[in-house]
Amino acid sequence: MEKQRSVALHTLGCKLNFSETSTLSRRLEQEGFQKKSFDDIADVYVINTCSVTDNADKECRQIVRRIQRNAPDSFVVIIGCYAQLKPKEIADIPGVDLVLGAAEKFNIVQHIEQLTKNTGSATIYSCDIETVSGFNAAFSINDRTRTFLKVQDGCNYNCSFCTIPMARGISRSDTIASVIKNAEAIAASGIKEIVLTGVNLGDFGQGPDGKKKQENFFQLIQQLDHIEGIERFRISSIEPNLLSNEIIQFVAGSKKFMPHFHIPLQSGSDNILGLMRRRYKREVYREKVQQIKTLMPHCAIGVDVIVGFPGETNEAFHETHQFLHELDVSYLHVFTYSERPNTLAITMDGIVPIHIRNERNKILRNLSFKKLQYFIAQQSGAKRKVLFEDAEKNGMMEGYTDNYIRIQTPYRKEWANQIVDWEI
């Protein structure tokens, strides 16, 4: 009898990658593979990569080296954004056997079944990103209390710092009918919260071939609001120019869509926003935050911001810092700009020295800490609903309020995957 092959999967990067890794894991298990922890010895290791920052590239290489030390006879498969952008570079990493680009990662089962160990360069299955079309639905399940449900992929925006359009292709979406079907399947599994994910979520409605359908993101969330069994929906991230007033008003009146938005800003300087090729001015962002807070004073608002972009002078950084200081937002995700090949930004003048980029990152992370503490203090004494996760660490468990405040408390098994009333 043939020995059952084992597989271990690891995800780098965003919620979208997590949803896809989980889906690929289920497919492999359905085909007879035994799923193992990534720290265990497995026959096949699959790394789903990110390439938003240089650190993600380095982390991939470090993981491959670790596998080589611990399991030199195992197969190593690299998929994801890094695999699409730099397949030949990855193929030359000692220990890598297979590289699957954007069009091939969902055919992973057949590729793994044909794997043979070789001592030369890895086998590459990639393509020109311009030819990538079609939408592959994905969602994480049995991995967390929350599920990441992919509803959109790719992006047409071509921001000057970003490699994602080159790694994932044009904007394309699932259909509302298919999203509803997947949400119902998730509800049947007992999961209570769905996080909607995509590369450019607010652009939902582009067909699988990139052509516009008669559907949009507002229509999608209206339909999802009626799903039985799911008690919470979150919008993972949405561009400020696509966050319409009707979406904000809808979330304010919904019992299922949580009072929590994550809205990329990237810079508080209109000049830098222009160099970044962002599709809004900072006043548009301010107006969105003000409208959210007028309708939902308790709403959490997260912000993505990049420091050290070419041309970011001391004055431009001060503009960003002051703008964020004045905004009624809850926390910041601060990214240090890193040069990415084949982007417009890499050709720009005004390079910011690395040590200054790092200093600015620290300044904004300190601001983020103060913002979050202030937001939590504002909620003191309020009663919110907390969805607790099952994981136990040092006798404690944690969960999140509807407005995304993390709560920690001594572990109680009966609270796992349950929504509990809680006083902040």
| 165 and 105 in a common domain | no
The answer as to whether 71 is a domain residue is: yes
| 48 and 18 in a common domain | yes
Instruction: List pLDDT tens digits, range 131-167.
Output: 788 898 899 986 668 899 999 999 999 999 999 899 8
| 247 and 136 in a common domain | yes
Output the six-digit token pair for 268.
């508080």
The answer as to whether 36 is a domain residue is: yes
The 3-state DSSP class for residue 382 equals coil
The 3-state DSSP class for residue 16 equals helix
| 85 and 136 in a common domain | no
Q: Residue 43's Cα: distance from chain center in Å?
A: 28
Output the six-digit token pair for 331.
């926390």
The answer as to whether 58 is a domain residue is: yes
pLDDT given for residue 259 in this prediction? 98
Domain containing residue 152: CATH number: 3.30.750.210
Domain containing residue 19: CATH number: 3.40.50.2300
The residue to which tokens 């019992």 are assigned: 255
The 3-state DSSP class for residue 167 equals helix
Band the pLDDT of 119: cuts 50, 70, 90.
Answer: low
The answer as to whether 294 is a domain residue is: no
Cross-strand partners of 257? 233
Exposed e or buried b per residue across 285-319, where buried means at least 16 C-beta atoms within 10 angstroms of its C-beta: bbebbeebeeebebbbbbbebbbbbbbbeeebbeb
Instruction: List pLDDT tens digits, range 197-231.
Output: 999 999 999 887 777 777 999 999 999 999 999 99
Exposed e or buried b per residue across 187-217, where buried means at least 16 C-beta atoms within 10 angstroms of its C-beta: beeebbbbbbbbbbbbbbbbbeebeeeebbb
| 147 and 115 in a common domain | no
| 213 and 137 in a common domain | yes
| Domain total in the chain | 3
| pLDDT greater at residue 9 or residue 130 | 9
The residue out of 224, 258, 292 marking a domain boundary is: 258
Band the pLDDT of 118: cuts 50, 70, 90.
Answer: low
Band the pLDDT of 101: cuts 50, 70, 90.
Answer: confident
The answer as to whether 37 is a domain residue is: yes
pLDDT given for residue 53 in this prediction? 65
Of 105-114, 248-257, 375-384, give the lowest mean pLDDT range: 105-114
Determine the Cα–Cα distance for residues 245 and 417; give it in Å rounded to an integer.
32
The answer as to whether 167 is a domain residue is: yes
| 118 and 139 in a common domain | no
Determine the Cα–Cα distance for residues 177 and 194; give it in Å rounded to an integer.
16
**Residues 47-61: what's their mean pLDDT?**
79
Nearest-CA neighbor of 115 among 213, 28, 185, 234? 28
pLDDT given for residue 130 in this prediction? 77
Exposed e or buried b per residue across 222-248, where buried means at least 16 C-beta atoms within 10 angstroms of its C-beta: bebbebeebbbbbbbbbbbebbeeebb
First to last CA, the chain: 58
Asked if residues 204 and 152 have their Cβ atoms less than 8 Å apart, the reply is: yes
The residue out of 258, 283, 318 marking a domain boundary is: 258
| 179 and 88 in a common domain | no
* Residue 1 scores a pLDDT above 50: no
Average pLDDT, the chain: 92
Q: Residue 48's Cα: distance from chain center in Å?
A: 13
| 111 and 52 in a common domain | yes
Asked if residues 202 and 236 have their Cβ atoms less than 8 Å apart, the reply is: no
| Domain extent for 58 | 6-127
Task: Look up the pTM and report it.
Answer: 0.91
DSSP string, 177-238: HHHHHHHHHHHHTT--EEEEE-SSGGGBTB-TTSPBPS--HHHHHHHHTT-SS--EEEE---
The answer as to whether 191 is a domain residue is: yes
Determine the Cα–Cα distance for residues 230 and 19; give it in Å rounded to an integer.
17
| 64 and 80 in a common domain | yes
Output the six-digit token pair for 117.
């160990």
Q: How many residues does the chain have?
A: 424
Determine the Cα–Cα distance for residues 85 and 164; give it in Å rounded to an integer.
9
The residue out of 110, 127, 144 marking a domain boundary is: 127
* Residue 126 scores a pLDDT above 90: no
| 120 and 76 in a common domain | yes
| pLDDT greater at residue 406 or residue 57 | 406
**pLDDT over 90 percentage in the chain:** 77
pLDDT given for residue 394 in this prediction? 94
The answer as to whether 370 is a domain residue is: no
Distances in Å between the Cα of 269 and the Cα atoms of 241, 295, 317, 334 are 16, 27, 8, 15
| 148 and 103 in a common domain | no
